[in-house]
């Protein structure tokens, strides 16, 4: 009798499925980017009269940096509001909060600021694990 008879395929090492965490969030942003920003920043969106357009900027994501080499931001989204304001939102998605590198994130932010000096940039980091961060923000 096989040892694996009562195990589901998910319990065995023969079948390993992993969710591509970054792709999941990128698809959410492509399909529901307006609703996602409204959910995160309801007050900002309302003050600007609502969002009329959003666009995921793929060309802004991959860059070469001296300390890290070629790295890619998870997502950069350009939002245009009804009152004419345009902002960029720099999204970083982490399934493990302990792997977040603030220095790398700063490179992304600085590069965007250089490329778009007159456009406000809103940095957003989303942690999907349940662990507490190493250094929680001050309250």
Tell me: the pLDDT tens digits for 2-42?
555 555 545 444 434 455 666 777 888 889 889 989 998 99
The pLDDT of residue 134 is 60
Q: What angle do CA 94, 99, 104 make, to 5 degrees?
A: 85
Residue partners of 27: CB distance under 8 A and separation at least 6 = none
Q: What pLDDT sits at residue 111?
A: 83
Over the chain, what is the mean pLDDT? Answer: 76
Average pLDDT for residues 70-90, to the nearest whole number? Answer: 86
pLDDT of residue 38: 92
The DSSP bridge partners found for residue 51 are 81
Q: For the beta carbon of residue 65, count every other beta carbon within 10 angstroms.
A: 15
């Amino acid at each position: 009798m096989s040892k694996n008879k009562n195990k589901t395929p998910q319990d065995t090492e023969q079948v390993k499925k992993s969710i591509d965490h970054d792709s999941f969030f990128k698809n959410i942003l492509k399909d529901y980017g307006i609703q996602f920003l409204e959910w995160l920043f309801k007050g900002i969106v309302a003050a600007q009269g609502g969002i009329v357009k959003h666009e995921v900027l793929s060309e802004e994501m991959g860059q070469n940096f001296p300390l890290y080499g070629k790295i890619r931001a998870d997502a950069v989204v350009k939002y245009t509001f009804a009152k004419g304001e345009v902002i960029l939102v720099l999204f970083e998605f982490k399934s493990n909060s302990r792997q977040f590198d603030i220095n790398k994130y700063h490179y992304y932010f600085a590069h965007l600021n250089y490329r778009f000096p007159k456009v406000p940039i809103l940095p957003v980091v989303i942690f999907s694990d349940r662990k507490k961060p190493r250094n929680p923000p001050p309250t």
